[in-house]
């Protein structure tokens, strides 16, 4: 295996890791990191690219972006729940009011984004 392939695979795994961390974290985006991971895996290893593109949890983010479908309702609810939980904990344990205000602002903008963003026509999570 060439050095460049190994570097692409390593970069792909770093991006997958950041994407997974970004699922429950409000400020770290998931989809861009998973798209980068797909790009790196496509250049580094067919096997890892296939793994990512068929992964039960991660591939819907990539496929929805690729097909310009938007998020499903269940994905939106899951994201809203995790963002709400994360920011409630952040706000509860923040010692200064500015951090609490920032948590409220981030929560509000996240919920507005989810509400106004395009939804997938068919909720695939319910049809499986």
Q: Do residues 61 and 82 share a domain?
A: no
Q: Do residues 55 and 97 share a domain?
A: no
CA atoms of 32 and 29, how far apart (whole Å):
6
Residue where a domain terminates, one of 16, 51, 66: 66
**CA distances in angstroms from 96 to 13, 51, 78, 92, listed in the order given:** 36, 44, 29, 10
Q: Which range marks the domain in which residue 106 is found?
A: 73-127
CB 86 within 8 A of CB 120: no
What single DSSP character describes residue 56?
A: T
Residue where a domain terminates, one of 17, 37, 66: 66
Angle at 114 between CA 74 and CA 21, to 5 degrees: 75
Q: Do residues 47 and 79 share a domain?
A: no
Q: Do residues 39 and 79 share a domain?
A: no
Q: CB burial class (10 A; 0-12, 13-18, 19+) of residue 98? A: exposed
Q: Do residues 102 and 58 share a domain?
A: no
Q: Looking at the whole model, is its pTM more than 0.75? A: no
Instruction: Find tokens 């699922």 and name the residue.
Output: 23
**How would you write the pLDDT of the chain (128 residues) with one tens digit per residue?**
788 899 999 999 999 998 898 888 766 778 888 989 999 999 999 999 999 999 998 888 888 777 777 777 877 888 788 888 888 988 899 999 999 999 899 889 888 888 887 777 654 444 44
Provide the domain count of the chain: 2
Residue where a domain terminates, one of 48, 66, 84: 66
CA atoms of 10 and 27, how far apart (whole Å):
24
Tokens describing residue 63: 């496929």
């Amino acid at each position: 295996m060439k050095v460049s392939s190994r570097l692409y695979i390593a970069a792909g795994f770093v991006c997958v890791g950041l994407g997974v961390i970004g699922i429950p974290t409000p400020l770290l985006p998931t989809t861009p990191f998973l798209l980068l991971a797909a790009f790196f895996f496509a250049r580094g290893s067919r096997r890892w690219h296939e793994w990512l593109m068929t992964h039960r949890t991660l591939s819907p983010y990539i496929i929805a972006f690729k097909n310009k479908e938007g998020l499903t309702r269940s994905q939106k609810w899951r994201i809203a729940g995790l963002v709400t939980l994360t920011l409630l904990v952040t706000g509860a344990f923040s010692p200064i009011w500015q951090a609490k205000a920032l948590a409220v602002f981030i929560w509000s903008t996240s919920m507005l984004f989810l509400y106004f963003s395009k939804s997938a026509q068919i909720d695939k999570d319910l049809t499986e």
